[in-house]
Structures are given as structure tokens and as C-alpha cells.
Amino acid sequence: MFGQQIVGSLDRFLRIILQVAWLNFLWIGFSLVGLVVGGIFPATTAAIAVARKWVQKKEVVSVFKSFKQAYKKEFVKSNIIGIIITVVGIILIVNYQILLQLGDQISIIAVFSYYFVIFLYGILVLWIFPLLSHYDSTIFQYFKNALIIGITKLPITIMQGLIIFFILYISLEFPSMLIFCTISLITISVAYFSVKVFKKIDAAE
């Protein structure tokens, strides 16, 4: 009896590991299919959508099928959002280089304002794709709600940021994680916190 329980637990554990690795492979594969730039954003949205089902303990008949459906459904919206985020990110990088060149000529207010914008940008990136995988709305609403939720739920936002940083840090120490589980672990953690927040928001409406 006890031996059967151990075998059953081991079997479930191995299944979880395989699903996590499979989701990671799907993210990499579909990102490449979209020629990286056009695929990474819908692939990320799709990975979060699958992870959200796991967190909600919904039955996922086929990880591949669920992933592909979400990928195709949000392909256009996720790429529009991704392009906007990428352009803003490039502008912020250019501004950073300008700040470095100007050095002491820049006022402390300008420096503070820049880092505040970086902070808001981080919040936006962290919340907008979970919103996209959970709600059907306009692109403007996704951006607005991502900022509102990220700021009003700041402790959760910070917790998510720290977990993602930790996963990426460990992945750099063990590069094989990037192939097998890095993206999956990030999307699962994001889905876990976002589902909790969205449930409270939906219940309050």
C-alpha cells in the first residue's frame, strides 16, 4: 500500500516535470516559428494561458492544443502590445545612454523621473500579458489596467519581480534551465499571482 503511494506520487511528480519542460519547449518553438520578434509575445501569452489553467486546476486535455489555440487567438493583439513595449524599451535605453553622456549636467529630478518611468515600465511588462491571457479587452485597456493593478497591488508586483529575478539568476548559473524550465517557471509564478488578483477583482465587480 505504502509502496503504491510512493510510486503514484513519483509518477505525478514526473508528469509535472515533463509538462513544465514541454511548455518551455513550446514557448521556444513557437517563438522561433514567429521568427522570434513576431512569435515571442504570443508565445508568452499562450504559455501564461496554459499555466493559468494549471493554477486554476482546470483540465488541460492537451498542452500543445491549448497553447496553439491561445497563440493563434492572441497573435495580433500580443504582437501589437509587444511592439509598443519594445519601442518604449528602446527609447528608454537611448535615454539611459544620453543620461550617461551628460553625467553631472543632468539634474537629480530628471534622473529620478527617468527611474520612476523605468519602474512603471517594469510594472507594465509584468502585468499586461497576464491580463491579455485572462480578459478580452482593448489594447488601451490592457495598458491602463496593467498600470493600475501593478500599482494598487504593489506588494504582489514586487514579489513577482523578485521571483522572476531569482529564476533568471539561477538560470544563468545553470544555463540548461533556459531550455527546460526557465520560461515555464516564470509563467507559472506569474499565473499564480495574477489568478489570485483577478479572482478578487472579478468577485468585487
**Cα separation, 161 vs 172, whole angstroms:** 17
pLDDT, tens digit, 9 for 90 and up, residues 1-55? 555 667 666 778 788 899 999 999 999 999 998 776 678 999 999 999 999 999 9
Domain residue spans of the chain: 2-204
Between CA 85 and CA 147, with CA 49 as vertex, the angle to 5 degrees is: 40
**Cα separation, 45 vs 158, whole angstroms:** 21
Percentage above 70 pLDDT, the chain: 93
